[in-house]
Amino acid sequence: MQYQISNILVPTDFSETANNALQVAIAMAKRHNAQIHLLHVIRPQVNMDPMGMQTSLTGMETTFIDAATENMQKHRQAIQKNNDVVVNIQVEVGSVAICVSNYALSNQKDLVVMGTHGVSGWNEFFLGSNAMAVIKECFCPVLTIPPSFNKKSFDSILYPIRNVDGVVEKYDYIKPIIEKNDAKIHLLGVAEQNDQYEITVLTNKLKAVREAILHNNEYISYETHQCDNIAQKVLEVAHERNDDIMIINATLDKKWYNFFSGSFTQQIVNHAKIPVLSVKPALTPELEKKRENYLVSEAHYYTPLKLIPS
């Protein structure tokens, strides 16, 4: 697959976190000779009458749309004045995740770059976040930028390898970033504690990834770990190594028995101190069958991810 970053979609709510993510996206657009597509989403304005019926406040929505459009135009002027980057703007009304997903799909965007505030405690599992909602809905890779990240380049890349689908294929999505940053890659194999089958599978996947990477061996390092909490171990290694970005597989691994610790994707995105590139596996017939079986077994608790059609 020849994956290139030519069109970058950046959702913004005009906050400092969103502006920080926008700065990262601008730097990426300059390196990849890509266009920026700024998207602001306004929640529908409704009024609840005494009978419990909702009515649309179209006048208020129009005011919000006009104000947001003016802000977007200022953003575009400021970006294009100081950077050799083409910027397109769009204002929509609806759900953030749905609008971002539909816009990315209909306009063939290669990458979504957005800020994440990070959440914890009850909010993490019951309120959710726009970042996680976008990852669940969006077909293209999503790069989430924590507010504490203030670099514009990615010199060191963490590549976690687990026993999930797509660990080799996700290299296609990080390859353009590696090439444009001349980055070093650290392969991190992680398996459940005392699970011999998991260790065997992990060893084979690690070997397959190393063989697939067409990169100077001097720029590759690797390590393996057995642990009780894979997400926590990945976060610990990222912090200790001070990497600039990590790429993960956004997988169908959230089950009721680990609901209160969250899925791997959710834990990583919510708690990482570095940008996280979330990639979904392609929807093969084998994976579709797995998903159907999973939906049946977890019907009451599972919210399915949208996967990439093969």
pLDDT digits (tens, 9 = 90+) for 80-130: 998 999 999 999 999 999 999 999 998 889 999 999 875 544 444 443 478
pLDDT value of position 37: 97
Residue written as tokens 């910027």?
A: 87
pLDDT value of position 92: 92
pLDDT value of position 288: 54
pLDDT value of position 308: 59
Question: CA-CA distance, 41 to 108, in Å (whole number)?
Answer: 18
Bridge partners, residue 127, by sequence: none
Identity of the amino acid at 149: F
Identity of the amino acid at 76: R
* Residue 262: other Cβ atoms inside 10 A: 18
Question: CA-CA distance, 301 to 261, in Å (whole number)?
Answer: 14
The dihedral sign for the CA sequence 17, 23, 29, 32? negative
pLDDT value of position 296: 60
pLDDT value of position 64: 86
Element (DSSP H or E) covering residue 45: none
Give the tokens for residue 138. 């969006």
Question: What distance lies between CA 269 and its chain's CA centroid?
Answer: 8
Element (DSSP H or E) covering residue 230: helix 230-241
pLDDT value of position 292: 60
Which residues of the chain register pLDDT less than 50?
Answer: 52-55, 120-128, 254-261
State how far the alpha carbon of 186 is from the alpha carbons of 116, 125, 139, 237, 246, in Å.
Answer: 24, 30, 26, 10, 9
DSSP letters, 79-123, are HHHHSS--EEEEEEES-HHHHHHHHHHHTT-SEEEEE-----HHI
Question: CA-CA distance, 243 to 155, in Å (whole number)?
Answer: 8
- Name the pTM for this structure: 0.85
